[in-house]
């Protein structure tokens, strides 16, 4: 992981990444501004208590929706936001490290916390006598920061607390209180002093995450790249058209109009920069906090790289994703009793190369010959009457996507006991490649279940695809279970089924799968379609199906290899969506390049 106090790297790979990000700011109107960033010092819990807080964060979002507390990860504020010039950031980080080292052995342990609830606020308050000790630590940091950087830091003078919820609907108070009372505040905890900064220009803006790429059609529009963040202000929206918003890109610094449905609301601290984390109980900078997988994963903040001497060389910063801070690994991870994972298939050939893609890779004798590197070198069972028109395979990149997911599951120590997939070839191939990444290819058999096929209303034509039978798939070296008998045979599927029938079918087959696997394995993976992430999990949670229009809007936002996890809640028969054990997978468009047309133009 790269920190803001790193020296500028000599790695060509890092240089390349940074060069690309700096190049993206060539038109940034704020590029030469010398605005300082705003910094803040927090106490962040780690270990079993953090695990409890993570569970509260997840359940409160699911049960009551997002409230203001979700904008920032769980923390205790030690000082007010303060300014610090880029050239002094390294010294500021050193000031924090020095202060923490001086306080080792003096920090209160355990830190006494007491639950407080009201009609608009729920939080854990630090006992006042101990809070005075924490304020003294903050004061010592302020003194050290002033000595090393001449920066003025104001310790937090209000009651010290960890906010659990605020600005929530009154109807949600009892549910949130019940969840909060389930937090065991006396659990072991390694408290970390963490330093973050934010761009002062967007401190009071809403933050959105770009979900889909968008190329401007007019001069006043903003280009969007998935993974970027957009800042918007209500004051800038007065003259925008319905369905459009005016915003500024974090990646480029440029502003313009953008389609509202191409972005989704993010948390305020998603774009903050992480500058260091130090434990009060270990003998150095907290290795656990920096190495814990997924804790401070991020991307380079290239618009304002912090400067160091000599030569005013910029350093690299990491943007912290707060909900990833709540993702755990290692000895503190609580293994769920049973978990259902649902995953969409990988990138498909007919979407990338068009519905007539077969004509691009067939020679005069009908043999398969790929015409693009993203086409697989060969296709399973090419020839005969294989229905590739209606049952398209995945691309090379689709296979790579799937293996990445499998490798991530392996790295997170996630065990998969059963794999079920839709009969679509793209789903079978995706499941096979996930198993390769998991190093379970040939060891774990995929159960091909027609009941997991997508809503048949979306199938063109008057018949369903002629899927490759499991016996033929096995003959083509696919790791499928030829002895498996489908819960819903293909003969039971009908063309143009109603939405209600599709949701009922998906719910029933999922329940039957979980019932069949009970007592024989904990974790079940379903590899199917974009709609499956919603259709296979929503009613398991006791929630009624949405109307078809809202359902379609949800499905549109699920990318290739979209991945979700649902955990069984004891013996209640209810399931609840939880954070997946792996990070999301994002990629951008890469258009076909013809060197003749591009480089030989006169």
Is residue 466 classed as helix, strand or coil in its secondary structure? coil
State yes or no: cis peptide before 110, omega within 30 of 0. yes
Is residue 41 classed as helix, strand or coil in its secondary structure? strand
φ and ψ at residue 238, rounded to 5 degrees: -65, -30
Given a contact cutoff of 8 angstroms between Cβ atoms, the answer to whether 385 and 489 are in contact is no
Given a contact cutoff of 8 angstroms between Cβ atoms, the answer to whether 282 and 222 are in contact is no
Q: What is the DSSP letter of 480?
A: B
Given a contact cutoff of 8 angstroms between Cβ atoms, the answer to whether 401 and 408 are in contact is no
Given a contact cutoff of 8 angstroms between Cβ atoms, the answer to whether 552 and 337 are in contact is no
Given a contact cutoff of 8 angstroms between Cβ atoms, the answer to whether 568 and 337 are in contact is yes
Q: How many Å is the Cα radius of gyration of the chain?
A: 26
Given a contact cutoff of 8 angstroms between Cβ atoms, the answer to whether 33 and 340 are in contact is no
Given a contact cutoff of 8 angstroms between Cβ atoms, the answer to whether 434 and 398 are in contact is no
Given a contact cutoff of 8 angstroms between Cβ atoms, the answer to whether 86 and 37 are in contact is yes
353, containing H or E segment = helix 349-353
**Measuring CA to CA, which residue among 542, 544, 546 is closest to residue 569?**
542
φ and ψ at residue 324, rounded to 5 degrees: -80, -25
| Count of C-beta atoms within a 10 Å radius of residue 381 | 16
φ and ψ at residue 505, rounded to 5 degrees: -60, -45
Beta pairing class for 563-568 and 339-344? antiparallel
Taking each helix axis as running N to C, give the angle between helix 396-411 and helix 425-437, from 0 to 180 degrees, rounded to the nearest 10. 40
Cα–Cα distance measured from residue 422 to residue 431, given in angstroms and rounded to the nearest whole number? 10
Beta pairing class for 523-528 and 339-344? parallel
Q: What separation, in Å, do the N-terminal and C-terminal C-alpha atoms of the chain show?
A: 46
Catalytic residues: 344-345, 529
Is residue 202 classed as helix, strand or coil in its secondary structure? helix
Give me the sign of the Cα torsion angle 573, 579, 582, 588. positive
List of residues 6+ apart from 128 with CB closer than 8 A: 159
Both tokens assigned to 218: 């007019």
**Measuring CA to CA, which residue among 213, 176, 162 is closest to residue 67?**
176
DSSP bridge partners of 117: 122
Cα–Cα distance measured from residue 363 to residue 404, given in angstroms and rounded to the nearest whole number? 32
The total number of residues shown for the chain amounts to: 602
Cα–Cα distance measured from residue 197 to residue 298, given in angstroms and rounded to the nearest whole number? 14
Give me the sign of the Cα torsion angle 282, 319, 124, 61. negative
Cα–Cα distance measured from residue 16 to residue 14, given in angstroms and rounded to the nearest whole number? 5
């Amino acid at each position: 992981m790269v920190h803001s106090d790193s020296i500028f790297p000599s790695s060509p790979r890092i240089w390349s990444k940074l060069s690309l990000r700096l190049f993206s700011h060539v038109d940034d109107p704020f590029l030469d501004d010398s605005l300082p960033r705003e910094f803040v010092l927090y106490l962040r819990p780690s270990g079993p208590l953090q695990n409890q807080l993570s569970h509260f964060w997840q359940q409160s979002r699911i049960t009551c929706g997002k409230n203001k507390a979700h904008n920032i990860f769980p923390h205790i504020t030690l000082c007010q936001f303060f300014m610090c010039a880029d050239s002094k950031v390294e010294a500021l980080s050193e000031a924090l490290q020095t202060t923490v080292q001086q306080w080792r052995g003096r920090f209160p342990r355990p830190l006494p916390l007491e639950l407080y609830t009201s009609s608009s606020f729920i939080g854990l308050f630090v006992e006042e006598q101990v809070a005075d000790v924490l304020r003294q630590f903050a004061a010592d940091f302020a003194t050290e920061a002033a000595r090393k950087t001449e920066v003025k830091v104001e310790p937090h003078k209000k009651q010290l607390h960890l906010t659990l919820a605020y600005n929530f609907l009154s109807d949600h108070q009892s549910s949130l209180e019940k969840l909060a009372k389930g937090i065991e505040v006396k659990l072991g905890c390694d408290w970390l002093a963490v330093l973050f900064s934010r761009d002062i220009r967007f401190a009071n803006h809403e933050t959105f995450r770009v979900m889909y790429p968008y190329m401007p059609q007019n001069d006043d529009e903003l280009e969007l790249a998935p993974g970027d963040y957009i800042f918007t202000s209500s004051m800038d929206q007065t003259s925008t058209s319905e369905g459009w918003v005016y915003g500024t890109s974090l990646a480029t610094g440029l502003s313009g109009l953008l389609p509202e449905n191409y972005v989704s609301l993010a948390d305020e601290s998603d774009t903050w920069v992480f500058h260091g984390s130090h434990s009060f109980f270990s003998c150095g900078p907290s290795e656990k906090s920096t190495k814990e997988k997924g804790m401070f994963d991020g991307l380079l903040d290239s618009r304002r790289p912090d400067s160091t001497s000599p030569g005013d060389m910029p350093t690299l910063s990491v943007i912290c994703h707060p909900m990833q801070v709540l993702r755990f690994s290692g000895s503190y991870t609580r293994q769920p009793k049973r978990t259902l994972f649902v995953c969409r298939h990988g990138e498909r050939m007919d979407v990338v190369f068009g519905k007539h893609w077969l004509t691009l890779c067939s020679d005069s004798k009908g043999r398969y010959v790929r015409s693009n590197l993203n086409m697989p070198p060969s296709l399973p069972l090419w020839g005969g009457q294989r229905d590739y028109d209606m049952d398209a395979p995945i691309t090379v990149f689709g296979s790579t996507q799937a293996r990445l997911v499998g490798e991530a599951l392996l790295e997170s120590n996630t065990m998969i006991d059963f794999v079920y997939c839709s009969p679509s070839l793209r789903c079978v191939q995706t499941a096979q490649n996930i198993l390769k990444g998991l190093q379970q290819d040939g060891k774990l058999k995929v159960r091909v279940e027609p009941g997991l096929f997508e809503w048949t209303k979306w199938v063109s034509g008057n018949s369903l695809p002629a899927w490759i039978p499991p016996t033929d798939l096995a003959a083509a070296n696919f790791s499928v279970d030829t002895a498996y008998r489908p819960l819903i045979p293909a003969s039971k599927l009908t063309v143009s089924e109603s939405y209600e029938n599709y949701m009922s079918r998906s719910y029933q087959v999922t329940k039957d799968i979980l019932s069949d696997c009970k007592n024989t394995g904990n974790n079940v993976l379903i590899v199917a379609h974009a709609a499956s992430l919603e259709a296979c999990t929503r009613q398991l949670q006791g929630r009624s199906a949405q109307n078809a229009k809202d359902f379609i809007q949800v499905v549109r936002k699920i990318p290739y290899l979209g991945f979700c996890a649902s955990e069984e809640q004891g013996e209640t028969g209810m399931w609840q969506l939880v954070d997946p054990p792996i990070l999301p997978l994002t990629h951008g468009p890469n258009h076909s390049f013809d060197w003749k047309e591009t480089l030989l133009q006169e």
